Structure 1
């Protein structure tokens, strides 16, 4: 039990990260959490709760916590924890987090994070954008103090900082993918039809999809791509395209005496459609590189964290550019259907792939209502 994991908001990506760490560390860690409710109160009072509930141990060596926790308060209340190597992880930062126009930014939450950075030994951000937006905002943020303002806090904190892209485990979605995209993925990163799914969280080896679904998934929705979800039957291979004679007898693939016994399979539903007749779908996902992994075409604003993830050809700068791109896709949907995500397939080795930030999921700051900040994926 050398690692103490503390999460004051145990839900969503915060829970996912802690669960993965606990799984990898196994018996060498202790996990202490609070439920993912009333975030503002957790940020204010979690340290007092953990002061009373974190078990004491002489075996602790490392304390790992997210920035929701006021780490400075906790180590002041629990002197034994102050001696540990303290790692603080930022999913988001309160100095750049968007607020409603009619709402002033609450100084206390950002101040808590600055204090936490000062007492931490290592400060980890999920993207370079998240890190830089926090560090470069400290000086301006501290000017809100009426007098006796602290100086050079950015210089003190910056040497402790580093970027660690958020880890992702991809489920087996091979049966939902077009053949040409599946074949390319199989060649580059080892994806197999209804077989093993590759792990892209920097851990070696592969994991069977059944085990993968039990252990991972970004938001508890892994069943979407597994036959166990909602009691859905296991999908069968996509049927062959009917010839003209067969099509004349029945143009509805769901017609027939046993239509109620057909398994749910997206490939089955769409296999009888001419690809030129199938509409494109615009998705607005909360989990990007999963979307790209599933074969979507990313189309993102040239702002925030997106230039850090995607090459320039997938970015737009103005609403007019976005409209023109979408218009061209409507005229030539085959561009999207035949497209293979460029950056992954330009990488020459498995090691390069694993180290590329576009292959690791990362949390980004919520978007504004301005259309320039509206990211899209174009799905097939």
Structure 2
């Protein structure tokens, strides 16, 4: 398909956070290359309602498409449902991008209603022409979990679902726009500064981070805490608990979302260590940004993290995380030294390198 003939309709029902950042990179690159595009979005509110209702909310807003057009959407959209409401969209090439998947979302107890989001994503993959995942962990965990979801169906279970999806799936990393700045900060505080840079949601396990910080404090360690990240509609109670906790109040030097990207990067560059306690992570832009800005990442030895970070950054349990943090509290310079020794190829995740590759996918 020639570049000048290419037309792309981008649908993002959750236009905020990493979903917005991704779309903005894609749109910017399309504009730079003179490629026609249409953007159809909904605000990033009430994720569960977006996953349930966005096809119904958006179907009448999507303009008619030609057979040479591409429909691009994130997995928040129930693509199969949208195509039922708008049969004319079947004539275009359909690409779905997975920032995360619901097949392995951590829940307290599996109930029938919990699998509906997973079924929606499976149906969307079957209805698409190309399925993209932001990491191999995302792709593999999705494919490996299909049979578990299908088995919950009481009878007439469909066959060959995994193989049908697998053959049209591939991995394409999230295109990160790294700051154009000096990596790290040689004049960091002599007190270890620990940053938690994630969005304020249950699946990032802020309770675990809070409890780790409490244990560090009780053990007599000297450290500072920075809590960053976007807040959406439902904020876990632990954040209010953490901010008002008298034992940690004197340790918290920043608490809350930072609107200015420059200020956000400055805070990261002033920190020594970035911690993830996530239970659900398929890429982790904020951890990669923190690492780029000079923080030493400490991440769980599971999920996507072993795919990105070397072994010295991984921990297997709370005891290991606390042990690592204690060592860095006692000698913050060791955190700086360990960070300098890290070998991470940031270029492979950069928007500058990946954006042209996305254009190739669109042109295929």
Q: Please report the TM-score for the alignment, with normalisation by the length of structure 2.
A: 0.65
**Aligned residue number for residue 70 of structure 1:** 78
Structure 2: gaps spanning 5 or more residues: 1-5, 189-256, 277-283, 355-364
User: What SS does the corresponding residue of 1:338 show, helix, strand or coil?
Assistant: helix
Q: Give 1:68 deviation, angstroms.
A: 0.8
**Aligned residue number for residue 224 of structure 1:** 263
1:7 aligns with 2:46: no
Larger gyration radius, structure 1 or structure 2: 1
**Aligned residue number for residue 279 of structure 2:** none
1:151 aligns with 2:156: no
Q: Give 1:81 deviation, angstroms.
A: 1.3
User: What SS does the corresponding residue of 2:107 show, helix, strand or coil?
Assistant: coil
Q: Which moved more, 1:131-140 or 1:21-30?
A: 21-30
Q: Give 1:336 deviation, angstroms.
A: 1.3
Q: Give 1:331 deviation, angstroms.
A: 3.4
**How many angstroms apart in 2 are the aligned matches of 1:160 and 1:38?**
30
**Aligned residue number for residue 303 of structure 2:** 304
Q: Deviations over 1:200-225 (max 9, x none)?
A: xxxxxxxxxxxxxxxxxx98541415
Q: Give 1:38 deviation, angstroms.
A: 2.2
| 1:1-380 → structure 2 map (5 Å cutoff) | 2-26=7-31, 28-58=36-66, 61-101=69-109, 106-174=114-182, 177-178=185-186, 221-224=260-263, 282-284=273-275, 287-344=286-343, 354-355=347-348
Q: Give 1:117 deviation, angstroms.
A: 0.3
**How many angstroms apart in 2 are the aligned matches of 1:117 and 1:133?**
14
Q: 1:360 to 1:289 in 2, by over 3 A?
A: farther
User: What SS does the corresponding residue of 2:323 show, helix, strand or coil?
Assistant: helix
Structure 1: gaps spanning 5 or more residues: 181-217, 228-264, 271-279, 348-352, 362-380
**How many angstroms apart in 2 are the aligned matches of 1:169 and 1:290?**
9
* 8 Å Cα contact 1:43-1:109 kept in structure 2: yes
Q: 1:342 to 1:119 in 2, by over 3 A?
A: farther
**How many angstroms apart in 2 are the aligned matches of 1:284 and 1:111?**
32
Q: Give 1:44 deviation, angstroms.
A: 1.8
User: What SS does the corresponding residue of 1:132 show, helix, strand or coil?
Assistant: helix
CA RMSD for the aligned pairs?
3.3
User: What SS does the corresponding residue of 1:168 show, helix, strand or coil?
Assistant: coil
**How many angstroms apart in 1 are the aligned matches of 2:85 and 2:68?**
17
Q: Give 1:143 deviation, angstroms.
A: 1.0
Q: Deviations over 1:66-101 (max 9, x none)?
A: 011111111222222111111100111111111244
Q: Give 1:281 deviation, angstroms.
A: 5.5
Q: Deviations over 1:83-122 (max 9, x none)?
A: 1111100111111111244876522211110000001111
**How many angstroms apart in 2 are the aligned matches of 1:102 and 1:145?**
13
Q: 1:113 to 1:3 in 2, by over 3 A?
A: same
Q: Give 1:360 deviation, angstroms.
A: 9.9
**Aligned residue number for residue 223 of structure 2:** none
* 8 Å Cα contact 1:9-1:34 kept in structure 2: yes
Q: Please report the TM-score for the alignment, with normalisation by the length of structure 1.
A: 0.63
* 8 Å Cα contact 1:3-1:60 kept in structure 2: no
